[in-house]
Structure 1
Amino acid sequence: MSRRTLAGGLAIAAALTLTALPATAEQLSVGFPSAKFPLGTRPVPTKTMTAVSQGIDLYDVKAGSSTDGYTVTVLMPSGRDYGTLPTAEAKVAEVEAAGEVASLQKVIRPSVADAPSQTVYMVRVGLWAFKDKAKAEETAKTLKDAGLKIKVDYLGDDGLKTTGPWDVKVAMIDSRTFRGSYAASLGTSVAKRETVSSMAKAQKALLGVNGGFFNIHTSKALRGEPVGASVVGGKLLSEAVPGRSAVVLKGRTAKITELKTSVVATSQDGEAVEVNGVNRATVENELVLYTEEYGAKTPTGGTDVVLDANGKVVGVRGSGAAVAAGTRVLHGNGVASDWLNEHALADYTVKVDTKVVDLRTKKALKLTPDLHVIAGGVGLVRNGKVKITAKLDGHDSMNMILRRHPRTLLGVTKNGSLILATIDGRQPGVTIGANFPEAAQFMRWLGATQAINLDGGGSTAMVVGNKLVNRPSDGAERGVGDALLVLPQ
């Protein structure tokens, strides 16, 4: 993006520039690439390598320099920082009526595999060097006093042309020499959030990163619940969002794929019903399965049927109680409650069948104790090529695709080695993060032929040997829904 043009108030056509990939993208073994850093102007990175354990190397990588400054962005009536051309032009007039000069900026969000490009317009006022943020804040106050909704923006966050900087941690786990295993953890319960540090310490993990997205749109007591598939030790603890990306871990192997799950309850009288969810809040007429890992009370306003380990009904109760160890609870409200009252009587047996299906192979996964699944955020690389499935994975907004954020990334190489990376961001002058195209490009540069974006933002965390090695954007480690752990055995 031309800073001079922005300051002059002319329209800007913004585009993301992707650099050529080095030959290492198709390497057969895992090792840090010798080519220049793939983002920005492709600077030569500085890196420090630490051997964590047999087969695990940790790289501390820094690249680029800070040249971005600040501007003031005018928010549209929708509350977003962009809008249509007529809406943006109306905002320009409002800014000028307040006595300031506005710039109309055209921004093109790049297309991804399942969503076309999008052209939007932003309205911005002024341009200040990094050291002059206070001056941007003064202008912001003037506009706010005039009745405009605004925010002060660091231009490195835009997702357009930048020089960085980047602060990255990369763990490379060599399939040829690593002798441990991979696992998922939801901490002490599904419902509660917990730090990666806590989960890693509890299982004596060599290394851990935060896992998938968790539900921030439910009650505070339940916000550790994963959004998507979660399997821990062969047990389904959260249902899949059909077709969304996920990471399947088995022993010391990792695979990226898309999943669907199904849970069916069948009474001994032969009547069967679909179970709508696992370990989450309910909506009207739903049947939800709660396991002992849930860690919260079942919802009120329905019927609870308590099953023992063999599926025998050992209790029928009003809802709103805890799930005892060694039991499961089928909770229903509305028509689902009616089904339970008719077909899950005391001393009946209700069989609960669970399936997790790999949509690439069309085969069900065997729910063995060494199987773990973490729901991903967005697919980035498939079969060695960039394939960003932002819409399918529920993150096709301008904010998620184009703007830069902290990222936690997972990749698998051609020979099955695992790459885990954190790109810190939201720290102006220190590290700017990455957008989806940059994250995909970065993982290909590292040698991943398959790659996925896990949860990011303030959740991004990497723990090595009980020590947090990255710098979370919140200033401290955040409690998250689940974690991927690298275990010594």
Structure 2
Amino acid sequence: MTRRNARFRRTVLTVLAAWSALAGAALVGAAPASGAQSGTEIAPGVTYRELDIPAAKGVTHAHVVSVDLRDPRVRVDLLHPGVVASRAPVSQLADTRGAVAGVNGDFFNITETQHPGVEATGATVGPAIASGHTLKGAVPDGQRFGPALPAGTTTKDVLGVGVDGRARLDSLALDGSLRTKEGRLPLGGLNQYALPEGSIGAFTSDWGSVSRVRATCGTDADRAAPCSTDTHEVTVRGGRVVASADTPGTGPIAAGTTVLVGREAGAQQLRKLSAGDPVAVRHRLVAADSRIPYRFALGGYPVLTGGQPLPGLDNATSAVRTAVGIADHGRRLLLLALDGAPAYRSGLTIAEVASTMRGLGSEDAFSLDGGGSTTLVAREPGAGTVSVRNHPSGGAERPVPNGIGVFVRS
């Protein structure tokens, strides 16, 4: 660690000790926004630093990357392996795209112990947009992997950056339909590991090659419920049906091809289609709060809005966490990852995460996947590849389906 970072850590500890006795959720008080601008510059507009955070269950160690979105050379985008149903370490995702820094992203379908013989897809819970391109929609709330959602939040919640370069919290809902000879039908999902009961979902080349069976398992309220026994799949190419099957298939989907998977009432509608029938599929993600298109967005859940923690945040369960803060009215992002080394593994509660992000100057903050997924990478000054800056709690990087990448144009 540089002398500059060591001095900064000592300063942060002194300030934190003076702020409060660290009781309840108000653990770190409110740090001045300028504090998040200190650290080591790893690229123009991007700084990295470390700090210790006293918490109810002991001191934890944090790694923070501050991203100045006002700098025209700087942008953030989704890191992902190229398809939705796939995973890779954050360092690999960052180096493949040439990112100077990054963190892991959304919660995901990591296991399928409740459904023997069904393949876990690795796909994320929430919506995803990469470079302005819509990759997927959100699964039903009851199908979510991860800790319980705070009251008033849903799987549709996202953190995104618009084409105006400002970061925002928002909610993205799928708006889609398919038009057949019998009329228009609603589309219930897009490249999702779980479809709403009775719906039809669309899978494109963005999905990948993993089996689509998981999309018909569970219910809107119970992820562990049995898989549906009433399913049907139709393949559409060039605007016409070219194949159908009663069981969702596997394997890559060619560009320009859409596979429609139906369960229950949706399956019954798809069975009415025959080879050669015309089918037109349309889909988009609609933002609840912004009319400005998103260049990048990923799922998680909000913990801080307008400088205030969400009511009822859990303040009992401590863990290694990843979070993102929005500061300076959307002009700065703060990427935070806790260290998973044994000395710091007690971590933070979600309530402590909200207070920490506010103390770092965030007006809004968003929780991402934590535990063994928590990974922050950043380049050393002058380096051509990133280094993992925190200690992943599993001892090595966990492959993840997406993350936030920081890019700087020379």
Which one has a bigger Cα radius of gyration? 1
State whether residues 30 and 174 of structure 1, in contact with CA within 8 Å, keep that contact through their aligned partners in structure 2.
Answer: no
Are positions 1:202 and 2:96 aligned together? yes
Q: How does 1:73-112 map to 2 (within 5 A)?
A: none
Counterpart of 1:329 (choices 232, 248, 259) is 259
Q: Does 1:312 align with 2:240?
A: yes
Aligned match of 2:303? 380
* Residue 488 (structure 1) aligns with: 408
What is the root-mean-square deviation in Å for CA atoms of aligned residues? 3.0
- Residues 384, 458 of structure 1: CA spacing in aligned structure 2 closer, same or farther, 3 A cutoff? same
Deviation digits for residues 445-465 of structure 1, max 9, x if unmatched? 111111111111111001113
Which AA in structure 2 matches 1:236?
A: L
Which stretch has the larger CA shift, 273-282 or 53-62?
273-282
Higher relative contact order (Cα pairs below 8 Å, separated by 6+ residues): 2
State the Cα deviation string for residues 360-390 of structure 1 (Å, max 9, x = none). Answer: 35x5x64xxx7222101x3121112222575
Gaps of 5+ in 2: 1-21, 142-152, 217-228, 380-385
Pick closer, same or farther for the CA change 1:283–1:18 going to 2, 3 Å: closer
Distance in 2 of aligned mates of 1:401 and 1:192: 33
- Distance verdict in 2 for CA 1:328–1:480, change over 3 Å: same
The count of corresponding residues between Structure 1 and Structure 2 is 344
Identity across the alignment (%): 25
Tell me the alpha carbon deviations over residues 215-261 of structure 1, each in whole angstroms, 9 at most, x when there is no partner.
23536733411112222342232325575231123354321123322
**Residues 162-218 of structure 1, C-alpha deviations (whole Å, 9 max, x = no match):** 4x3221111011123251322113314322222111211221111111001112353
Is 2:167 the counterpart of 1:239? no
CA 1:441/1:261 → structure 2, altered by over 3 Å: closer, same or farther? same
**Structure-to-structure mapping, 1:243-392, within 5 angstroms:** 243-244=153-154, 245-250=157-162, 252-276=165-189, 278-281=191-194, 285-295=198-208, 296-299=210-213, 302-308=231-237, 311-317=239-245, 319-326=248-255, 327-342=257-272, 344-361=273-290, 366=293, 371-376=295-300, 378-388=301-311
**Scaled by the length of structure 1, what TM-score is found?**
0.63
- Residue 209 of structure 1 contacts residue 484 of structure 1 at CA under 8 Å; is this kept in 2? yes
Aligned residue type for 2:359: W
Q: Does 1:58 align with 2:48?
A: yes
Q: SS of 1:221's equivalent?
A: coil
In structure 2, relative to structure 1, the CA distance for the partners of 1:439 and 1:321 (3 Å cut) is: closer
* Cα distance in structure 1, aligned partners of 2:194 and 2:406: 30
**In the TM superposition, what is the alpha-carbon distance from 1:410 to its structure 2 partner?**
0.3
User: C-alpha distance in 2, partners of 1:477/1:193?
Assistant: 11
Q: Distance in 2 between matches of 1:453 and 1:433?
A: 14
**Counterpart check, 1:31 vs 2:21:** no
Q: Distance in 2 between matches of 1:19 and 1:297?
A: 45
Q: Provide the residue aligned with 2:13 in structure 1.
A: none
Residues 336-363 of structure 1: per-residue CA shift (max 9 Å, x gap):
2331232x433333222323232235x5
1:477 maps to 2:397: yes
Change (3 A) 1:18 1:333: closer
Q: 1:19 to 1:460 in 2, by over 3 A?
A: closer
Equivalent position of 1:128 in the other structure: none
- CA–CA distance in 2 between the matches of 1:52 and 1:449? 24
Q: Is 2:126 aligned against 1:228?
A: yes
**Inter-partner Cα distance in structure 2 for 1:212 and 1:236:** 13
**1:165 matched residue in structure 2:** 59
Q: TM-score, normalised by structure 2?
A: 0.74
Q: Aligned AA for 1:165?
A: V
Residue 422 of structure 1: aligned partner? 337
